Structure 1
Amino acid sequence: MAPVDPHDFKTDRILKNLQGNTIKGHGREHTTHIFIHFDANKIVAAKKWIRTFAEDTLTSAKTQLEQREKFKKEKIPGGMFAALFLTAKGYEALGFADVDAKFADDAFKSGLKTRLNITNDPNPSQWEEGFRDEIHAMILLGDDELRRMGEFTKGLLDILDAFSHINVVEYGNAIRNSAGAGIEHFGYVDGTSQPLFLKDEIESYEKDHGVVLSAPTDALKFDPSADKELILIPDPYVAVNLEKPAFGSYFVFRKLEQNVRAFKLAEEVVGEALFPNIGEESKRELAGAYLVGRFEDGSPVVMDDEDAVPNSAGFNNFNYADDPSGGRCPHFAHVRKTNPRTGAFDQSKRMARRGIPFGHRNVDTELDPIASQTPEGGVGLLFMSYQASIQNQFEFIQQFWANSVNFPGAATGIDPIIGQSATGNPADRIFALPQVYGHAVPAVTADFEQFVTMKGGEYFFAPSITFLKGLV
């Protein structure tokens, strides 16, 4: 792997023209996502605004990493982050009639609504209203200061209204546990096991895990490093220029609503079935860990049957080679399904995930609310990912791993968290949880319903800044 070193001049040329949030998440606590449809009669005004936005507001990967360095050294926040994405229909609306020839990814060119036979998503008629219509672009804003972002958004919406229709506006807000790790509404640490592109991140991984990626030994169980080509491709609308390389990335957005109350009640039922005796209540957290593949604090269940491992959310040097039966981490567990960790092929399917929770909770997750205090809807995850191919990465994982009842083995069952059954067969959601940790049998059989519902989304491309600034 060739780590990205921001201090290298060759890399610097790439980062200047690359949108931020790609090789490293922007890290802001709050986000605004504005989805728009360009007015066919006002395309000249739309192009002019895009050029101005790219010049004055857009955050490059270079700027983002400079802000990151300043925060690490001086604890000075980076301010507001901004990015812009286009759909295939968006390119066409802006006058690009050759989208089909320029882009290689059929998923991007077709759009999410046409891929239901692959994703098993609900029919778009069941999506939230704002996502049902044709979407041309998405503007992403991120900030640690909610009011500042809100004031900017208000002004931006007025500007956008002059040449486009606002489809919908979504808001994300980070949730953190007592250790400062980001979690989702079910209460589990989210965003673990990301591909690492930056030189300093890879060096930190080696130091924290006592391994050397360039000279692997038996101590190295998992290599998280990745080449930038895992998520970046040359911008198809910018001529090749070795002095000023222009890269972009395919981008997936999905609004995933979570029924937290039903999930927690199901966890309780399975936990009691596994550990029915008085005095075993604390062990019942293992039920959820079996389903997710990690305990709530991030501890990998394949490593131990208890949580609270120091730096558990950051521990990533493990695989499933010593657990072929699934007695420690069941084959259907979410993190095992979506990241099998078995070789180069699996590594090539990874994405740079940039999700953030949405929705309000009345009781803080740190207070460990009982099921009746948790929401049944209106909360969830704004799933986002960057990849070099939507077909070969996001869609492959969703179709052939998460949605497959026979991956990684026959009758494994679909992913209990994000899996969507093609047939709706209840048998797809019946799971066998090890009754004794480390032994796949005997097992407790559990019927785990679908508690995550896709409410809308789209496939985008994050163009290079070179393209956006030069749009005519």
Structure 2
Amino acid sequence: MTTPNKQNIQGDIWPRLPKKWETFHFFRITRPALFKEHLALLAPLLTTAQDAQRMREDIYKKKEEGTLKGLVKLSGINISFSAKGLAKLGAEGFTDDLFNNGQWQDMTYPGTGEDPAKHQGLDDQQDWYHQFKPRNGSVDGVFIVAGDSEATVKKTIESLIEKIFNVGGKDQSLQRVFSQSGHVLPDDREHFGWVDGISQPSVIGLDDLSKNKSPNGLKPIPAGTILVGCDQDKTKTPGWAKEGSFMVYRVYEQRTPEFVMWCGRNTPSVTTEGFTENAKKELRLFSSRVMGRWPDGAPLELYPEKDPSHILSADPHENTELLKKEWGDEYEKKWKEQEAMNHTDNFNYNADNQTRCPFASHIRKCGPRDDHPFYQKHLMLRRGIPYGPLTKNEEKAGGVSQTERGLLFVSYQSSIKNGFHTVQKEWANTAEGPDDKTDQCGGKAAQGIDPIIGQVAPHSRHDEDPIIYKEPVPAVNLPDPRHPPPEINERTVPIERWVIPHGGEYFFSPSISGIQDHLCKA
């Protein structure tokens, strides 16, 4: 087994770029020969896995020592290319049709009279940002720029990208197509209110496996599951691509007020009692069953009936502030203890039973563990970041989103087919995925599509309301929050559409040597 070279791997793949703010700077190559010259200047400045690891370790050390005062000023930069971008640079190509044809073909649904072979997914074409649509040109690549603040990221873009590639000058070698930025929300939550990014797999040869204290959790994966050409990667790729990784970029809008209102309508005590303390507890339980975790991260498989966190307010951000007041000087210590309990990965599923975590829950549909044989080969490293403002209680109470917010989803894998494609299309989008649980759901129907990111064809949407489906409305198998789940649960709940894909692209993140020795060569 060959150990991956951390000096050769881009740092957002592993261990990820330290970030509070992140900008994805999409570009189109206009003068390939000149771009190669500019890329050669940028290559030594790219943030490697070793660089990112040192940054993160420095932050953790200062936290442990109590010497961390505010945010550490830092920034990192990586680069990835679409198939069209690599072709412009004359790179030896891949035989991967998903990558070569792009996300537009793989994920969009055909319009009237269009060839289904050219549109093989369930995304409504009208929902895609126009910049990702092929008819508006191509996206050849993306700079991933992360840092401690918006100002730091902006400065890095100006001092590196715009300067090196002479943006705005006569020797400019690229066009900026557009940029999208995200920022970390308080307590690392996503917009629906759940702590995000938990249960990332450990990579053999990169992570320190001696620190893995979760014998019942995700098993460590070979480096070749994430990095091309590394241990146990069975894909056929050109030699120059070794230690690179395929990057999936995808925008998911989250309709938070609509999601909150749906959860309330499907919590019986809320509809009969209003927001009593009892109803709030049932609402928290129901919404957590939809996700498969409590909002602070504790898995239902370990805590099926009661949230182990100390809860003073149903609003997670308000709860944090109240805990700071109640715990006072003990806050940091108690928060770390609670966080360690909630962020545990030390669990697995009983493949024939959902009396703890529902088969239809988001984390079980997309991360089935031992529910699904060989699930390890479908694991990804997720590096997404939220975008848009927090949802205030007034907006939640109104039930209708007043501004766009969501997740800039990023994942890395050595095979798009094994990773993102399987999880989204074969697991989340099918009622029987990743394994058919019809018998355990009463025998009439399977567990249903993923209630968060699962999709049905656009013609199933309501003509006037984008979040409602026509009859028959997709339903998922979820137990009544007033009762412990029975061994065989027959209760189904009709779902709505709170997560709307706005498109994206498939990219390849080359190694440093792949850039310098192959992509920069004339």
TM-score (norm 1): 0.84
Of 398, 401, 406, which residue of structure 2 is paired with 1:380? Answer: 406
- 1:48 is aligned to 37
1:433 counterpart residue number: 478
* Residue 48 (structure 2) pairs with residue 63 (structure 1): no
Q: Would the aligned equivalents of 1:175 and 1:184 in 2 still touch at CA under 8 Å? A: yes
- Determine if the alignment matches structure 1 residue 233 to structure 2 residue 228: yes
Question: Of the candidates 184, 191, 202, which is equivalent to residue 196 of structure 1?
Answer: 202
Name the CA distance, whole Å, in 1 between partners of 2:176 and 2:258.
33
Are the counterparts in 2 of residues 275 and 283 from structure 1 also a CA contact under 8 Å? no
Query: Match for residue 338 of structure 1?
Result: 366
Q: Residues 239 and 375 from structure 1, CA distance in 2 versus in 1: closer, same or farther, beyond 3 angstroms?
A: closer
Post-superposition Cα deviations, 1:390-442, rounded to whole Å, max 9, x if no partner, equal 01211011111100012232422100111111473754621232122231566
- The verdict on how the C-alpha distance between 1:291 and 1:394 changes in structure 2, with shifts beyond 3 A counting, is same
Deviations 1:302-355 (CA, angstroms, capped at 9, x unpaired): 22212135334421111221x724232221110000111116511110100001
Matches within 5 A, 1:349-428: 349-361=378-390, 363=392, 370-372=396-398, 375-407=401-433, 408-409=435-436, 410=438, 411-422=446-457, 424=460, 426-427=471-472
Letter in 1 for 2:82: T
Secondary structure of the residue aligned to 2:244 is: strand
Q: Any conservation in 2 of the 1:222–1:317 contact (CA below 8 Å)?
A: yes
8 Å CA contact retained: 2:21, 2:146 = yes
Q: Give aligned-pair identity as a percent.
A: 27
Deviation at 1:295, TM superposition (A): 1.3
Aligned ranges for residues 30-109 of structure 1 at < 5 Å? 30-39=21-30, 42-55=31-44, 57-74=45-62, 77=72, 79-96=74-91, 98-99=92-93, 103-109=94-100
Aligned counterparts of 1:18 and 1:412: Cα–Cα separation in 2: 40
Q: What corresponds to 1:307 in structure 2?
A: 307
- What are the Cα deviations for residues 203-232 of structure 1, in whole angstroms up to 9, with x where unaligned? 3331xx4xxxxxxxxxx4223422211100
Matches of 1:306 and 1:205, distance apart in 2:
26
Q: What does residue 498 of structure 2 align with?
A: 451
Aligned residue in 2 for 1:168: 178
Question: Deviations for 1:208-266, whole angstroms, at most 9, x for unmatched residues?
Answer: x4xxxxxxxxxx422342221110013955559xxxxx510011000111111100100
**Which residue among 11, 22, 29 is the counterpart of 2:20?**
29
Equivalent pair of 2:251/2:407 in contact (CA under 8 Å): yes
Correspondence for 2:464: none
Deviations along 1:33-86, one digit per CA (max 9) or x if unpaired, are 0111111xx22221111111112x210111111222323334574721110001
Determine if contact 2:194/2:296 at 8 Å carries over to the other structure: yes
Q: Which residue of 2 aligns with 1:294?
A: 293
Is the 1:29–1:174 contact (alpha carbons within 8 Å) kept by the matching residues of 2?
yes
Q: Relative to structure 1, is the Cα distance of residues 262 and 333 closer, same or farther in structure 2, using a 3 angstrom cutoff? A: same
Query: Contact (CA 8 Å) 1:118, 1:395: kept in 2 or not?
Result: no
Larger strand percent: 1
Query: Which amino acid in the other structure matches residue 394 of structure 1?
Result: F
Q: 243, 252, 263: which one pairs with 2:259? A: 263
Secondary structure of the equivalent of 1:251?
strand
Q: What letter corresponds to residue 379 of structure 2 in structure 1?
A: R
Shift of 1:468: 1.6
Whole-Å separation in 2 of the counterparts to 1:369 and 1:128: 25
How far has the Cα of 1:87 moved from its partner?
Answer: 0.6
Give the whole-Å Cα distance in 2 for the aligned partners of 1:78 and 1:106: 41
Q: Using the TM superposition, name which of 104-113 and 75-84 deviates more.
A: 75-84
Asked if residue 247 in structure 1 is aligned to residue 243 in structure 2, the reply is yes
Please, which runs of 5 or more residues in structure 1 have no aligned partner? Answer: 3-9, 210-219, 241-245
- Does the 8 Å CA contact 1:131/1:456 hold for their aligned counterparts? yes
Q: Return the letter of the residue paired with 2:448.
A: G
RMSD over aligned CA atoms reads: 2.7
Following the alignment from structure 1 to structure 2, what is the Cα–Cα distance between the partners of residues 272 and 226? 42
Q: Distance in 2 between matches of 1:119 and 1:299?
A: 33
Q: 1:37 to 1:14 in 2, by over 3 A?
A: same
SS in 2 for 1:115: helix
1:111 aligns to what SS in structure 2?
helix
Residues 18 and 464, structure 1, Cα contact 8 Å, conserved in 2: yes
Shift of 1:370: 4.3
- Check the 8 A contact 1:257/1:377 in 2, yes or no: no
Whole-Å Cα distance in 2 between the matches of residues 357 and 157 of structure 1? 25
What's the TM-score once normalised by structure 2's chain length?
A: 0.76
Question: What is the 5 A alignment of 1:108-127?
Answer: 108-116=99-107, 118-123=120-125, 125-127=126-128
Change (3 A) 1:430 1:415: same
